[in-house]
């Protein structure tokens, strides 16, 4: 018997008020893969991703996580088994950096000493000195530092799946490359299954083990970054040409 995919989209459809946002998306994502959803704004990438942690349910078809449809998962367990990082960062402005990172472990009822130790470890892991940053508030940090904290927070309870929704979209180009490097480092070290949404072709080519290209709610192409450079698909060629990445 085949091992279940880490994440599987099985003929997934999604519509809001009769307007179709996703049409019949099917995709298998194996454990440990980093799959990047690439496409223009409004192509349905984020919508597809938000189905994995059960923030939304498909209108048709199924999304399976570890072989079980998300509709049959305990939603709280499912959400906490996915680390989630978004462009708006979404740190809680009234909590300290340490409290932000330790929030999911706190909700999970970890003892305070264990939360503190885990927070230290994570701050080190994302390259922030705990002694310096622990007690600060999000507004005292730069955009890049805040996004590091958001990544640490997503990793806090050691989730099996990481979901990144255009996490580096608002960062300046240099910080962005730094963060991409950090992401690669972490995904190598931690061997987690990761979904990454972006409209930046270079970012996709850089981070992905496979790229899934979305256009107007359809999954038009799934390819390894190398294959994508030689693609014959018109839509994908347009994307690549626009980024100057066509061979």
Q: Which residues bind other proteins (CB under 8 A)?
A: 53, 55, 75-80, 82, 84, 86-95, 103-104, 107, 137, 139
User: What six digits make up the tokens of 95?
Assistant: 């909590």
Write out the H or E segment, with its range, that includes residue 84: strand 82-86
| Bridge partners, 38 (sequence order) | 198, 213
CB 66 within 8 A of CB 72: no
Using CA atoms, how far apart are residues 48 and 93, in angstroms rounded to an integer?
28
Measured from the CB of residue 53, what is the shortest distance to other proteins in angstroms?
A: 6
Write out the H or E segment, with its range, that includes residue 46: helix 45-52
CB 25 within 8 A of CB 49: no
User: What SS3 string covers 119-133?
Assistant: HHHHHHHCCCCHHHH
Measured from the CB of residue 86, what is the shortest distance to other proteins in angstroms?
A: 6
Pairing of strands 34-38, 60-65: unpaired
Is the Cβ of residue 49 or residue 128 nearer to other proteins in the bound state? Answer: 49
Measured from the CB of residue 51, what is the shortest distance to other proteins in angstroms?
A: 12
Measured from the CB of residue 247, what is the shortest distance to other proteins in angstroms?
A: 38
Is the Cβ of residue 88 or residue 238 nearer to other proteins in the bound state? Answer: 88
CB 26 within 8 A of CB 12: yes
Using CA atoms, how far apart are residues 212 and 228, in angstroms rounded to an integer?
10
Is the Cβ of residue 92 or residue 242 nearer to other proteins in the bound state? Answer: 92
Measured from the CB of residue 200, what is the shortest distance to other proteins in angstroms?
A: 19
Using CA atoms, how far apart are residues 166 and 182, in angstroms rounded to an integer?
15
Measured from the CB of residue 124, what is the shortest distance to other proteins in angstroms?
A: 22
Is the Cβ of residue 19 or residue 139 nearer to other proteins in the bound state? Answer: 139
Is the Cβ of residue 53 or residue 198 nearer to other proteins in the bound state? Answer: 53
Is the Cβ of residue 199 or residue 210 nearer to other proteins in the bound state? Answer: 199
């Amino acid at each position: 018997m085949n091992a279940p995919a880490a994440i599987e989209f099985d003929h997934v459809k999604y519509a809001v008020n009769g307007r179709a946002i996703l049409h019949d998306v099917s995709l298998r994502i194996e454990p440990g893969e980093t799959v990047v959803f690439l496409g223009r704004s409004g192509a349905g990438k984020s919508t597809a991703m938000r189905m994995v942690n059960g923030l939304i349910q498909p209108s048709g078809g199924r999304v399976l996580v570890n072989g079980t449809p998300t509709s049959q998962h305990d939603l709280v367990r499912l959400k906490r088994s996915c680390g989630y990082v978004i462009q708006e960062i979404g740190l809680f402005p009234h909590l300290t950096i340490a409290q932000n990172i330790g929030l999911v472990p706190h909700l999970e009822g970890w003892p305070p000493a264990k939360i503190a130790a885990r927070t230290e470890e994570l701050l080190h892991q994302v390259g922030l000195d705990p002694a310096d940053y622990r007690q600060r508030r999000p507004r005292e940090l730069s955009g890049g530092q805040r996004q590091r904290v958001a990544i640490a927070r997503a990793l806090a309870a050691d989730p099996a799946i990481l979901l990144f929704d255009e996490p580096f979209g608002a960062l300046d180009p240099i910080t962005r490359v730094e963060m991409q490097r950090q992401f690669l480092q972490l995904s190598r070290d931690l061997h987690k299954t990761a979904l990454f949404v972006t409209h930046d072709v270079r970012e996709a080519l850089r981070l992905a083990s496979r790229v899934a290209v979305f256009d107007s709610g359809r999954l038009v192409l799934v390819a390894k970054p190398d294959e994508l450079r030689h693609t014959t698909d018109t839509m994908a060629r347009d994307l690549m040409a626009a980024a100057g990445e066509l061979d």
